[in-house]
Amino acid sequence: MAMAASSMEQLLQVDPAMATYSILAIALVTAVLVLINRIGGNGAGKQRRHGLPPSPRRLPVIGHLHLLRPPVHRTFQELASGLGAPLMHIRLGSTHCLVASSAAAATELIRSHEGKISERPLTAVARQFAYGSDSGFAFAPYGPHWRAMKRLCMSELLGPRTVELLRPVRRAGLVSLLHTVIRKSPEPVDLTAELIRMSNASIIRMMASTVPGSVTEEAQALVKAVAELVGAFNVEDYIAVCRGWDLQGLGKRAADVHRRFDALLEDMIAHKEEARAAKKAIRGEDDQEPETKKTMAESKDLIDILLDKMEDENAAEETKLTREKIKAFTIDVVTAGSDTSAAMVEWMLAELMNHPECLRKVRDEIDAVVGSNRITGEADIANLPYLQAAYKETLRLRPAAPIAHRQSTEDMELATGGCFTVPVGTAVFINLWAIGRDPEHWGQTALEFRPERFMLGGESEKLEPRGQHFQYLPFGSGRRGCPGMGLALQSVPAVVAALVQCFHWTVVPKAGEEKAVIDMEESDGLVRARKHPLLLRASPRLNPFPAVV
């Protein structure tokens, strides 16, 4: 689960034509001469006088919005490369933005100024799903509540012990996926749809393991709607005079989705509270044997843990959980952790199929270590170094959240690429996608899929994706780094390993194609997924096929 925020990219994730029409309409309405005179012109000379990093030419009112095209991380890289600048200043409407495109720039921002960029901009739509400004986690301001939720995430909710205890839930999702592929064989399988279904169901079951199947299906539809709304470009977030107008109707749509999601979460929590009350009544807390208490503790899902914290009478007031905070946190987790995992499985499998020799090495390693009598599981990952290397290489080239989005809470003095002063309230974008492809660190093979670089003796063998090496930050780094990183590092390669071990996969060719190759075009949206569905034909390669348990 990539919660990097994300993972939660907020920038121009809609049709570029729609965004352009909206921007031009706003420009016509707001093009008052006084405003134009104040912010118009080239801006490069003014920025040098004020100590801002270099910037492309901009237009009045809309700033640099006209230059941006999805996918935004690629546009940022092109603009920064044109300027030759590791730090770039742009204006999105009335919003100052800083774009960091090098490991050196990311290092300075995170190591020297992390305390000044610990906030995430709270957009109009995200505010609704956070039940205000501070009930959620992903967009909550840095303070006692956020720090308490971060500790809770890292120690209990997404800590190693809970991730291990909830492994059977994820295994059940994988079993269901394998059964689906077997049932549909030899017909083509829309693996994109099946992976999203598996990932969403697994994360919802991890949150609330006892909810009815109908609730899971409704939650999957709402998660998709939240991701689309939070990831959409909203003019009122960037052009001040448009705030409160809801010109695109996003606010109205978000209110409807939030109302439906809130009702669903109330049902989930009420169902969980009834089950908890019944369990207490049957067993009685006072006369439980120690072993019974241990069993009850180990059967808890994430909402159980949150309800325990809410009922804790000793919790400090500023960190005490409320019902709204539990609901806001649940929306954050299921939205950030569902489609991201599915996207990473799909990217990794697509890369392996486009590189048959790498696919052969992964399969041979699995056959040698695991064999053919059982299905590869998460416990096997530590013994499969080439599989891990292939996953690391996928994370480098295809991070699910290619831009880490922050906001400055103080003025910052930066030295990377010059001497600059960045004002308070600036949106900070760290382009993780560009950093992971920088030839300065990755050499002449920076754009190639080459897992061997992470193997023993490879030039990057000591690099880990945990945020400590600033040339390699697929999960972000620092206080706002992805708290679901540990879960993602276990679950994603395990799914890929099972799919590679159990089936031979062939690409379904398009009309007129002589040789079918998987295209790697990216989609627009909150999660950086492939643009086109992954249609593959599977044939079982294990005979007899092991019992899938």
Binding residues for heme: 482
Cα–Cα distance, 282 to 200 (Å, whole number): 32
Tokens at 14, concatenated? 């809609």
Instruction: Please count the other Cβ atoms lying within 10 Å of the Cβ belonging to residue 273.
Output: 12
Cα–Cα distance, 294 to 155 (Å, whole number): 18
Cis peptide leading into 544, omega within 30 of 0? Answer: yes
The DSSP secondary-structure symbol of 159 reads: S
Cα 307 to the center of its chain, rounded Å: 25
- Amino acid at site 261: F
Residue 110: is it exposed, middle or buried by C-beta count within 10 angstroms (0-12/13-18/19+)?
buried
Beta strand 412-414 with 535-540 is unpaired
Cα–Cα distance, 140 to 329 (Å, whole number): 10
Q: Are 439 and 46 in contact (CB under 8 A)?
A: no
Cα–Cα distance, 462 to 464 (Å, whole number): 6
Instruction: Please count the other Cβ atoms lying within 10 Å of the Cβ belonging to residue 218.
Output: 18
Is the C-alpha dihedral spanning 497, 499, 501, 505 positive or negative? negative
Crossing angle of helices 213-231 and 250-283, rounded to 10°: 150
Helix (H) or strand (E) holding 267, with range, is: helix 250-283
Q: Which of 382, 353, 398 is nearest to 2 (CA)?
A: 398
Q: Which of 493, 480, 532, 293 is nearest to 392 (CA)?
A: 493
Tokens at 548, concatenated? 């899938």
